[in-house]
Amino acid sequence: MRHNLTTPSQLALAISLALGSSLALAEPDESDASESTGLGFERIVVTGAVARNQTVMQSSVSVSTLTTEDIQVSAPRSTAEIFRMLPGVRSESTGGDGNANIAVRGLPVAAGGAKFLTLQEDGLPVMQFGDIAFGNADIFLRADSTISRLDVIRGGSASTAASNSPGGIINFVSKTGLEEGGSVAFTTGLNYDSFRTDFEYGGDINNDTRFHIGGFVRQGEGVRNPGYQGEKGYQLKANLTKEFDTGYVRLYAKHLNDRVASYMPMPMFADGSSVPGFDARKDTLQSVYLTQTVRLNGDNQISRGDIRNGMNPEVNSFGFEAIFDLDDHWTLENRFRINSVSGNFITLFPAEVDSAQSIANSIAGDDAVVRYAVGPNTGERFTAENAMRIHTFDVELNDFGSIVNDLKLSRRFGEVDVTFGYYLADQSIRMSWLWNSYLMALKGDNAELLDVYAADGTAFSEQGLLAYGVPFWDNCCQRNYDTDYSIRAPYLTASWAMGELSLDASVRRDIGKARGSYAGAVQSSRDMNGDGIISQVEQSVSAIDLANPSLVNYSWGYNSYSVGANYQLDNDWAVFGRISKGGRANADRLLFGKVNADGSVAREDAIDEVKQYELGSKSRHGNLNLFATLFFAKTEEQNFEATTQLFFDRVYQAKGIELESSYRIGDFDLRGSVTWTDAEITRDALNPDVVGNTPRRQADFIYSLIARYTFDQAQLGLSLIGTTAAYAQDNNDLKFSGYTQVNAFASYDLATNLTLSLNVNNLFDTIGITEAEQGSVPANGIITARTINGRTASLGLRYQF
């Protein structure tokens, strides 16, 4: 069975009808998709859907879709770079292929990750908490050719659609073999070392069974050269669908073992220009001279960490989904997944950037001497100006596994559609922080390690190692987490259509438990290198205080609701409104400060609530589509930031307008969005001086644009991603300039089904700072910040069969 769907929007609609709607189980034909144009107002809402089988035009939900063609034109270099094309979404994707900071509609990113936003694969969360320290959800997620599209729900309607997601849901929807055929694609970097193969194939096994299988393999240094192979890994995904007269069952599996470098904030001047010897757009802190680190592991045994592992997720997951029409107009829907997740997160962080002499004096006293510890100049005096005190963010992800099930039972009662649901999930968070300190030259091309000597010749470092631990941060960060979190959430959704008026309401009750223990650092002397001598750096070694763990034993509960209305004025114009309250339970970031001695946690610390109001319009004006939403949000925030060792206890407010539009004329297609946000810190229990300030990194405007023109055998595309100026920190002193990043794409059909493509990311080599550790310019003028990658170009060859 093969459907000849000729456009990406038609394919998206067909798959959405087949996958997600509990009321539309039959396979669509071409007539079902023929009206899907522009922003897809006639497609069925699937992700986070209300009970009724509604189109986007009929619903009061702010929903968007990115097709594979949209993603291709935007020329992303990581999964999180795809999100920059989404209206209302601020994706700071400068950390590599993972560890991104993602926010929506002014909801804050106080300490990294995607706290109020859930990333899903095929309708279930990747992680139950999107901001686990060193375990952000996007680390365990890879976009490849098995993806059919991205479905995105923004705003309050997500509050009851999933746990811990009041800001929104980004759902990666996989291909299922609905379209018979496949592809193989090869991509290589032109001005950077990377080679990747993507492959996928699917189709019918017989009249009622189909399959899809695919994945990718890659290797290379990556977009920044770490001095070694920074990328190496693969992903395999497969699913099998069996259709019945009244529904279907789908089995699926995924194996991910990928390794990519993690890019931390890098030294640069406050205006974004590069310091001598370090190009902030292209260089990285990683170096061939620092690939191994010796430390005590989570069991306090001497072990070795490999910095070349970078972000190294290892994921094995298996799941199924089933949808069936039952007797008496009932519909049963269930999704289940079990995940085995582990890996590593290890990278270099510049805890201090200053003159080498100043850092050395703070370690070994006045008139300290700095010498090269490695490289061709080993033993010689270091005469360059600046150096960096490096901390190894060395974290073993021992167990981030989960079990998830989402059960729904739906029925229509007259004009009212009702869904009863029950969601349950168990999430493990078991990891060990094993950090060390080094001294390194300020240099972007394989920086050398440096040794420090007192004026009398006493060595205060060994091969660049300053300490087994991080004394510059009070030896904070030798830690062990052994915790489990369970979530149980019954929910109810109802929708009602009265002519052109549609109403929907939903409630959800989240009930959770946290159990386990955690332990911090303890100092002792230890012979780490086994030479029988306790050297200077071995006199105080950070270990984990396993003998005195702290208890985690608390529960939480919160209610969420969302009420929306949509009125269709005519066939091409509808207005809608929504009032919502959602919640977000805090997890590992409460440890080491917010957990009481008996393991309990105050309710105001355990839960952050978000209240949202939305008013919007959807309209078609010939070939022009426009989606406009006014929004207001009030957000509570409890958080902890690893780099500053600071807790947050705040309330934020944000208001603004979100515009999404598309325009098509002939072979020219234009799609874009702009979001204006006015955000403010309205309360801070720990630092009242910031009340009234704009939250860190929150720009007034963020915007994106995709433009493409299709010829007979070719396609040209251009995408723009931009932001206006934003403050680096909440003190509102240091401010980053706005920027516009331009990406270009071109493809040409060499033969039937064989396409050659070229894409250029950051065509004009723009500097664009996304975050910084400092809130003010230090005396030496050097800050540590992340900027978008410089210009990179890649060439691809794709064959479809």
Residue 748 exposed, middle or buried by CB count within 10 Å (0-12, 13-18, 19+)? middle
**Cα–Cα dist 770/109, whole Å:** 12
- Residue listed under structure tokens 């320290």: 133
**782 close to 267: Cβ distance less than 8 angstroms:** yes
Q: Which residues contact 354 (CB under 8 A, 6 or more apart)?
A: 386, 387, 780, 782
Tell me the two tokens of residue 20.
Answer: 């997600």
Whether the predicted pLDDT of 148 surpasses 90: yes
**Cα–Cα dist 129/121, whole Å:** 14
- Residue listed under structure tokens 């560890």: 99
**Contacts of range 717-722, beta carbons closer than 8 Å, 24 or more positions apart:** 717/72, 717/73, 717/744, 717/745, 717/746, 718/73, 718/742, 718/743, 718/744, 718/745, 719/73, 719/74, 719/75, 719/85, 719/743, 719/744, 719/745, 720/672, 721/74, 721/84, 721/85
Quick: pLDDT tens for 348-384: 999 999 999 999 999 999 999 999 999 999 999 999 9
How far is CA 396 from each of CA 258, 348, 541, 747, rounded to the nearest angstrom? 15, 15, 18, 42
Quick: pLDDT tens for 76-121: 888 888 998 888 899 988 999 999 999 999 998 877 889 999 999 9
Quick: pLDDT tens for 571-626: 999 999 999 999 999 999 999 999 999 999 999 999 999 999 999 999 999 999 99
Residue 31 exposed, middle or buried by CB count within 10 Å (0-12, 13-18, 19+)? exposed
For the residues 672-676, what does the mean pLDDT come to? 95
**DSSP element (H, E) containing 30:** helix 30-33
**Cα–Cα dist 506/246, whole Å:** 27
Whether the predicted pLDDT of 638 surpasses 90: no
**770 close to 788: Cβ distance less than 8 angstroms:** yes
Quick: pLDDT tens for 463-485: 999 999 999 999 999 999 999 99
Quick: pLDDT tens for 701-751: 999 999 999 999 999 999 999 999 999 999 999 999 999 999 999 999 999
Beta strands in 685-753 (DSSP E): 701-710, 714-723, 726-727, 735-736, 739-751
Other Cβ atoms closer than 10 A to 206: 8
pTM: 0.92
**DSSP element (H, E) containing 603:** helix 603-606
Quick: pLDDT tens for 162-185: 999 999 999 999 999 999 999 999
Longest Cα separation, the chain: 90
pLDDT in the model for residue 30: 30
**Cα–Cα dist 1/24, whole Å:** 18
**132 close to 429: Cβ distance less than 8 angstroms:** yes
How far is CA 368 from each of CA 344, 355, 363, rounded to the nearest angstrom? 36, 12, 8
**620 close to 41: Cβ distance less than 8 angstroms:** yes
Nearest partner of 241 among 408, 52, 438, 25, judged by Cα:
25
Whether the predicted pLDDT of 6 surpasses 60: no
Whether the predicted pLDDT of 29 surpasses 50: no
Whether the predicted pLDDT of 634 surpasses 90: yes
Q: What percent of the chain has pLDDT over 70?
A: 94
Predicted confidence band at 52 (pLDDT cuts at 50, 70, 90)?
A: low
Q: How many residues does the chain have?
A: 801
pLDDT in the model for residue 679: 97
**Cα–Cα dist 102/190, whole Å:** 29
Report phi then psi at 343, rounded to 5: 145, -155
Strand 117-121 relative to strand 168-174: parallel, antiparallel, unpaired? parallel
Nearest partner of 438 among 518, 345, 303, 348, judged by Cα:
348
- Selected residue with higher pLDDT from 6 and 326: 326
Q: Bridge partners of 294?
A: 304
